[in-house]
Amino acid sequence: MISRLPLDQQLESLRAVLSRNDVLTGVLARAVTLELPEWYVTAGCLFQTVWNVVTGRPPTNGIKDYDLFYFDSDDLSWEAEDTVIKAGREVFAGLPAEVEIRNEARVHLWYQDKFGVSCPPYESAEAAIDSFAATTCCLGVRVEADGQWRVYAPHGLSDMFNLVVRPNPVLAPRAVYETKAARWREQWPELTVLDWPSMSVMSTSSVD
């Protein structure tokens, strides 16, 4: 089990698994050329690659898009973000994937309209990753200019490799978690999806 490996070996195992997805490694290699601040490839394309490899599926199976986060609080205009998105279209042209680029410093400007709850401004790209609906999703990877991999995994890697989906009730509503989890189980029926915590459990946790 990966959870019983030393941390450096866990990271080596993660890199080995993710590297089996040629589309993902292409996105990582090209993303570094955009020179975006605090960027990460994150979310579904990572943990779904792991699920695919663990369950014996092709590494790209069921992956709809590749999310690329960056954090630029100096310019919160849509025009600035759109400029980056258009540059990304050129950089990622030819890859058999849709790469969605978002400035996480702007999320609070549109989150409530989309999800029905307010989102305080993030202070970093890592803070945005922290707020995903499931802890299993909270993973970001980037390749530095020198070729070194940087991994952000605030909840570790065990659940992801063990096919466990655990709720993360810090921002996204329960309905968002349950909708995503149901969709994932259709694609990966081997998953164990944990229930959203009750209000009493959440209240106790907040006191602690």
Which tens digit of pLDDT belongs to each residue from 25-46?
999 999 999 999 999 999 999 9
Average pLDDT score over residue span 171-182: 93
What pLDDT, on the 0 to 100 scale, is given for residue 172?
86
Does residue 7 carry a pLDDT above 90?
no
Confidence of residue 204 (pLDDT cuts 50, 70, 90): very low
Q: Which helix (H) or strand (E) holds 150?
A: strand 149-152
Does residue 133 carry a pLDDT above 60?
yes
Q: Helix %, strand %, coil % for the chain, to 5? A: 50, 15, 40
Confidence of residue 145 (pLDDT cuts 50, 70, 90): confident
Does residue 207 carry a pLDDT above 50?
no
Query: b/e for 144-155, b at 16 or more Cβ within 10 A?
Result: eeeeeeebbbeb
Average pLDDT score over residue span 91-115: 93
What predicted TM-score, i.e. pTM, was given to this entire model? 0.90
